[in-house]
Structure 1
Amino acid sequence: MKLTIIILSFLGLGTIMVGCSALGTSPSKERIDKYKSSKNYNLKEEKFENRLPNIVDEMMDRNFTFGSIFNFFKSHPNRKPEKLLPEIKPDLASFLEPSKELKSIWFGHSTILLNMDSKIILVDPVFSKAASPVSFAVQRFQPPVLKLEELPKVDYILISHDHYDHLDMESIKFFKEKDIKFITPLGVGAHLEGWGISKEKIIERDWWQGAEFEGIKFIATPSQHFSGRGLMDRCKTLWASWVLQSENHNIYFSGDSGYDTHFKDIGDKYGPFDVAFIENGQYNEKWEEVHLLPKQSIQAYKDLRAKKYFPIHWGMFVLSMHTWNEPMQEIFKLSENNEVNLVVPKIGQIVNLSNDFTNEFWWRD
């Protein structure tokens, strides 16, 4: 668990004073009726659950103490960079040039823009000032390298789950009049509809279910995490990782997840992957049930049988107590003896994932 999620839930109460739209919309009875037969849905408790059903509740009970909250808010050195991180304003003409190669632009944290077989896919878009229901909490390190208005035409928006650092109301609302399909885990579409996205544009999937559009398969796969944007909606929507497949590419996006058997299951069923976008950041041993520690992320990479490891979930928000650059320092240290092919670009840098990549170790500056 990110202790931050509990804190953000309380901050969410403040939005009641100015409007509740950022908290999202709970799934309706009609929507629940459509997915209550899901193997991941607990009918008695009316919530989604992990393979290990009680793992999140036990973690929450263990961590929701005065001492834990105090420790989160007390000063921890270097949690935020002292200066702006290096970034590259991407040449979108180059990014959009038609080819069979896979290209990416990382915006920090878990927001990725992909050019996959000339289709543009935006993953977990967060372009707001803060990953929070209130603008003064969990502010980003620096403005996005591209404004929403500067993005190229997006064909698909892919969402992993409904936490604020992955599902941003203002970013979603920007696209409500665009010709885009929104692909989400079960229940998350309720938030989108509440923000003005028409039902026809929303595709929801359970774990191991897929949808195919224009030669690209989007397959929802398991993760070990939880969901919720307020105090009363924990696990009311599903969380997922995603597999994206086309004639030319096979990629994996972890979303948020603790380590469990699902990584090997996914690797066995859909691997090997050309590249795996795996979270490595905002971790802590106290909440390893829902976020990977660096050593665990290396094991996940091996389980997935991926050729390249692209670390995400770091480099833009303070959601844990470690220093801002510790995730990369640790993962590179571990990679030396584990034959891990790491891809760590600067923010905004266009990466041709079909080719070899040379890291510049820019986070050491």
Structure 2
Amino acid sequence: MKQRLFAPGPTMVPEDVVQAVGRAPMHHRSQEFKELYREVIANLAYVYQTEGHPMLFNASGTGAMESCVANLFRRGDRVAVVVAGWFGRRWRDIAKAYGLEPVCYELPDTDGTDPDDFGKWLDRQGKVRGVLLTHCETSTGAFHDVHAVVQRIQDKDALVVVDAITSLGVHEVKTDAWGLDAVVCGSQKALMCPPGVSSVSLSRKAWKAVETSDLPKYYFDYKANFASAEEKSQPRFTVATSIVAGLAVSLRLIREEGLEQVIARHVRLGESTRAGVGALGLRLFSKSPCNAVTALLPPDGIEAEKIRAVLLKEHGIRVAGGQGNLQGRIFRIGHLGYYDRGDVLTVLGALEATLRTLGYPVKSGSSVHAAQEAWGS
């Protein structure tokens, strides 16, 4: 049976990327790789919408998050953290691990951040050195309007650090125009590549903070890594050359489609998926859904894990379950990166059949029809 991946990361990968990753690896100090590396950095800057020079690391997105904390702050710094899911809690935990003092704006997992309410809350907290945000909370399917939040708090002299691991290439992320100081991403989501490489983009303000940081770092030392990349057009240490080769191909595909068109496609992917599941009578978990992943509550009397198991066994479709406190309570359909209308119709048709198998009454073809209507011409 053909296997199809509808998780919010790792995601499906184009065949051209698979072939690039599968070739014999290049030497990381060769001229060939230097040229490829320069191209990847330039195309990452295009996706980040920055004039800066993003850095690459052999790490998951969490590694990139940790690198921000280690390089931008000093021990004891107070940082504001929006906590509304698994990955907001990860920002909090990384900050604690490095001896910072996180002050947490706690939200129900179902909610997105209300910019004005957050701004009023932040006004009451006194001075904070940084604000740590999650753009798309993968664990809940929630969208947090980073742009609106930044506009509301622009009078604060705080570094704005954004986890865009699930949002970059899905929603607009205008790093320079919005005044974002540090933005992180991973290779395995909308960038359509296998996991293994993460990236970080920094503002000039962030680079000034790097100069005063007193926290320990070696592999993730921004100054040393940037110097190697800028002066030698090569990574400081051995990088995952095969993943970088795949990333070069996937970024070319994004440039060919055009970033604006990529984001518009994800709007359609999100809207059509939500229309399809709505036609089945399923409820969204998030009140502020993003266009990368749709988190769903199972129908009464049917376990979320049963739905996942039947989808995989009968249809070869793997969707994600809940994380942490949401394990067993929700299931999540990923549709970011290398997905199109046909993929949405495929997963909805299989979900419809799965629900019928589990005894839930559905009108045949209702989800697919609703998704097609939402997609438009």
TM-score, normalization by structure 1: 0.30
Structure with bigger RCO (C-alpha 8 Å, 6+ apart): 2
Q: Compare CA radii of gyration and give the structure with the larger one.
A: 2
TM-score, normalization by structure 2: 0.29
